[in-house]
Chain A
Amino acid sequence: MTGGSGVVVIDNGGGLLKAGFGGDKDPIAVVPNCMAKPPGGNTKKWLVADQLQADDVDVTGMTLKRPIDRGYLINTEVQREVWERVVRNLLQVDPSNSSLLLVEPMFNPPALQHTADELVFEEFGFNSLCVADAPSLVHLYEASHQPTRFRAQCSLVVDCGFSFTHASPVLQNFILNYGVRRMDLGGKALTNYLKELVSYRSLNVMDETLLIDDAKEKLCFVSMDVPGDLRRARLSFKDNPFRCSYILPDGITYKKGFVKNMDEALRYCSLPLDQESDRKDHSVETNKFEDRKKPELSQNEFALTNERFLVPEMLFHPIDLGINQAGLAECIVRAVQACHPYLQPVLFESIILTGGSTLFPRFTERLERELRPLVPDDYQVKIIRQENPILGAWRGGSILASSPDFESMCVTKSEYEEMGSARCRRRFFH
C-alpha cells in the first residue's frame, strides 16, 4: 500500500473515476466510471471499470450502464460495483480503517447526498468521510503550485467535464455559490452529437459510444476561424486539410479503433490561423493534382471533415444545437458579473480551465479570442489550462487529504450513525 496516509481520494467523475491515496502525486486508478456488457445474450458478465481498458477487449456495440446521470450520482447499485472493483482490487485497501475524500458535484440535491452517505458508511463502512467540490480543489492545487500567480487568493475555475460545464468563482478555497453558472454540455453530449452526425452522414455507429469517444478525443479540435475552415472543408478529398478517416475494429486483426493516418489527421495544425493566406493554399493544392484519386472507403471506416471542428464548436455556441443556453465565453462573463465589482478584474485575470473537454487542441486560444470582446478593455484576460485537466481536481484532493487539519474536516462513521446524514452534512456547509 502506498500513500500511507490511509486517506482514499476519489474524484467520482461522470466519465472517468480517479482514485488514489492522499499525499500521492497521481491517482492509482483512472478508470471509466461505468459497467459494460458485450453484445449478444450469451455472456451475462458485465465488465467493470478497468476491465474495459484491457487491450484485448473489443468495445464494439457494448451496452453501457453509468452510475452518473447529468453529473449526479443516481444509480448507487452500479456505483457500488465500480467502487468495489476500484477499492478492493486496484487500491487494495480495507475501507473500515481508512478515510474517504469524495469529490461531489456542486448543488447536489439532499436526497442524493443521503444516498451517497449511505453508500459510503453503510455499504463500504469507511471510517470517515469528507466531501469536497471540484472547483475549490482545483484552485487549491493551482494556488499551492503557483503561489505568485494567485496572490489574490481567488480564481475562476471553468470545469468542462463529461456531464456539464461549470464556471465557478472561488475565493480563498471557497466557492462563491451565487456566482456559479452551469452549461448543460460536456464531453458526453459532444460524443453523442458526433455519433449522430456520423450515423447520418456515413455509417451507423449509434451503438458505438466508446469508439466515437475515442475518435472524438483523437480527431476533434477547436477552430479559430469557423467560416474560413468551413470553406476549406468543402474542398474535395486530397485538398481537404481536415479530411481523415477513423478505422473501426474488425474484431480479428484490430481490437481497437484507430486513426487511419495520423499525419494526415494533423495537417490542420500547419494551416495559418488567419484568412489572408488562403490564396497561397490554393496554389500549393493545384500542384498535387496528379495524385488526386477517389479514395476507397472500406466497410469499416468513416471519414470526418467539418465534424471535427463543428462538434467542439457546440461548447462555444450551444444554440446551434438547439440548446438555448449561452456559450462558454458568455457563461464565464455572467459568472464573473454575479460577483462583487472589486473581484471582477481579478477573476478575469485568473481563469483556470480544467476537465477533460478542455483537452481539445486550441481550446484556450479560442476561448481567449471569444472572451476578449466581452470583457471591459481595461481588464486583462488571462486563461491557463491545467497541466493535466483530467487529474486536476484529484490532485487538489490529494493535497487537501494530506493537510494536517484534514481529520477535523471529516465526519466519522460514529457521528453519522448517531446523527444521520442531514446533520453531518452541515459540516460541509450544505
Chain B
Amino acid sequence: MESEVVRTEMVLAPSLPFKKVQTADKYPKGQSRGRQWKHLRHLLQAADASTMPPDRPNYLNIQSPPSIYPSKRYCDITGFEAPYMDPRTKLRYADPEVFKQIRTLPDEYVQRYLALRNAAVILR
C-alpha cells in the first residue's frame, strides 16, 4: 500500500505553491525543452549589482584587482622575451629575424596575433 502511494506521487507532478508557473505546465511531458538556459553574463546583468549593498560580497566585487606590477613582454610570434615592438603593427618581437617575418604578415594575421594577448584593436 505504502509503495503505491509513493508511486502516484511520482506520476502526478506535485504542484508547488511557491511557484507562479509549475514546471509541468512550463514544459509539458514529451516536448523538447529547447534552449532554456541563459549565459552567465545575462544572469549577472539580471542580478544587477548596483541594487545590492556595496559592502556585501558578490560575484562582481570579489574579482581580483589589477596587478600593481608591470607586465612582462613576450614575443608574439615565438614566445621569447621581446625587447622590441614594431611601431607599425604593435607586435612585440624577439629578434630581427622575427621582425622580417612580421613585416610580411597580412594585417588580418597581425590582428589575430594581437588577439592572442587581448590587445587587438576592435573596430566597431
Contacts and interface: CB of A to CB of B under 8 A. Distances in A.
A200 B116 contact: yes
Interface in A303-345: 305-307, 310, 317-327, 330-331, 334
Interface string A175-218: 00110111110000000000011001100000000000000000
A72 interface: yes
Interface magnitude class on chain A: 35 or more
Interface residues of B, number: 46
A311 to B, nearest CB: 10
B67 A319 contact: yes
B73 to A, nearest CB: 8
Contacts of B16: 417, 420
Given A74-B37, A200-B113, A181 B62 contact: yes
Given A184-B63, A326-B66, A417 B14 contact: yes
- Main secondary structure, interface of A, reads helix
Contacts of B70: 319
A263 interface: no
A258 to B, nearest CB: 24
A180 B61 CA distance: 10
A234 B80 contact: yes
Contacts of B58: 107
A122 interface: yes
Interface stretch (A2-10, A81-89, A109-117, A278-286): A109-117
Given A182-B64, A306-B78, 18 more contacts: A69-B40, A70-B40, A72-B40, A75-B37, A76-B36, A109-B59, A180-B62, A181-B63, A306-B80, A310-B74, A324-B67, A325-B63, A325-B65, A326-B66, A330-B68, A417-B16, A422-B18, A423-B18
Interface of A: 69-70, 72, 74-77, 96, 107, 109-112, 118, 122, 125, 177-178, 180-184, 196-197, 200-201, 226-227, 230, 233-234, 305-307, 310, 317-327, 330-331, 334, 417-423
CB-based closest 6 A-B pairs: A322-B118, A420-B18, A319-B71, A326-B67, A322-B117, A331-B64
9 contacts: A72-B43, A77-B36, A109-B59, A122-B13, A306-B80, A321-B117, A321-B118, A334-B64, A418-B17
